[in-house]
Structure 1
């Protein structure tokens, strides 16, 4: 699957100069895609709960998109804007929270709510400080960050559902 997805930019490079990837871009993209897929398989395999698997899928997709967008074009300004490094703090909150929770659904819900809060704080700081302007206006920052907050909250909600189902002894 990773190889197929990486064929898309390779194909696009044949038709436009807008897509100009080098070997390092393909390496990073391949590592991100393969790593996300492998992580999903390892964690979701142990879960018999559909809500838990969906929550992991949403969380990993959100994290992958956050990293990919930051590396490709940046969210605050362009990809070279150091303010974008704050988003790696959002990911750190999630990773540390998941480890503390030992991937149990109730703790994972808290970790994802914390990620949503961290994402919101990054957006508020960027908006108040006028970071990224003129490349990223206030509306763009609010919409993009709101998208990620919604994904993190959605994942947290799915984890809460998974926790309730596990508490009730329901495996599906």
Structure 2
């Protein structure tokens, strides 16, 4: 019995570390709430953040366990990091305007394209490269569509910097998705 428990722990050591790391990260806003009223999280915030952090780490761990080249593992890491940051930022403060702006819902479509494409590709490098190129295109289309739907009133330097900031942030995510796609294209792993 004891040997079985030891074996299970050894096999799932990284997942245990991931769970502990997630708990540690969630302690940061919890402790901050004790010292300032600037951080206001409720139970839902902790559940969503914990699920997002643990889920992203678990996805990487499960894919990395399958092996593959270093390029493949880095590509997976970049894609997951980009998706994680995109969802986190969108939920926390919103990317276009506030988090309540309905235009921000399009970003969840970007992540959905990545998930659906990865499922169809069965995580194979060629399919993942195509998926991430499609994800990058979808990411680039979001601010373009947003600008067509709701033209911002650029009457000041601050307003124009807001538009440029959104475009720059989207360009950052596009480059992350393209970088991941190029790494997938370069990797020669069979899963």
TM over 0.5: yes
C-alpha distance in 2, partners of 1:55/1:154?
8
Mapped contact 1:76–1:131 kept (Cα < 8 A):
no
C-alpha distance in 1, partners of 2:146/2:69?
38
Aligned residue for 1:13?
Answer: 33
In the TM superposition, what are the counterparts of 1:50-69 in structure 2 within 5 Å? 50-69=70-89
Whose radius of gyration is greater, 1 or 2? 2
Counterpart of 2:116 in 1: which secondary structure?
helix
C-alpha distance in 1, partners of 2:41/2:72?
35
C-alpha distance in 2, partners of 1:132/1:92?
27
Residue 81 of structure 1: which of 83, 89, 101 is its match?
101
Residue 142 of structure 1: which of 140, 150, 167 is its match?
167
Residue 45 of structure 1: which of 58, 65, 87 is its match?
65
Mapped contact 1:81–1:132 kept (Cα < 8 A):
no
Relative to structure 1, the CA distance from residue 27 to residue 34 in structure 2 (aligned partners, 3 Å threshold; closer, same or farther) is same
User: TM-score, normalized by length of structure 2?
Assistant: 0.80
- CA drift of 1:160 comes to 1.1
Relative to structure 1, the CA distance from residue 110 to residue 102 in structure 2 (aligned partners, 3 Å threshold; closer, same or farther) is same
Aligned residue for 1:96?
Answer: 116
Relative to structure 1, the CA distance from residue 13 to residue 132 in structure 2 (aligned partners, 3 Å threshold; closer, same or farther) is farther
Aligned length: 165
Gaps of at least 5 residues in structure 2 are 1-20, 154-158
C-alpha distance in 1, partners of 2:126/2:47?
35
User: TM-score, normalized by length of structure 1?
Assistant: 0.88
C-alpha distance in 1, partners of 2:70/2:166?
33
Relative to structure 1, the CA distance from residue 132 to residue 13 in structure 2 (aligned partners, 3 Å threshold; closer, same or farther) is farther
Gaps of at least 5 residues in structure 1 are 168-172
**RMSD, aligned CA:** 2.0
Aligned residue for 2:133?
Answer: 113
C-alpha distance in 2, partners of 1:132/1:42?
43
C-alpha distance in 1, partners of 2:177/2:37?
34
Aligned residue for 1:124?
Answer: 144
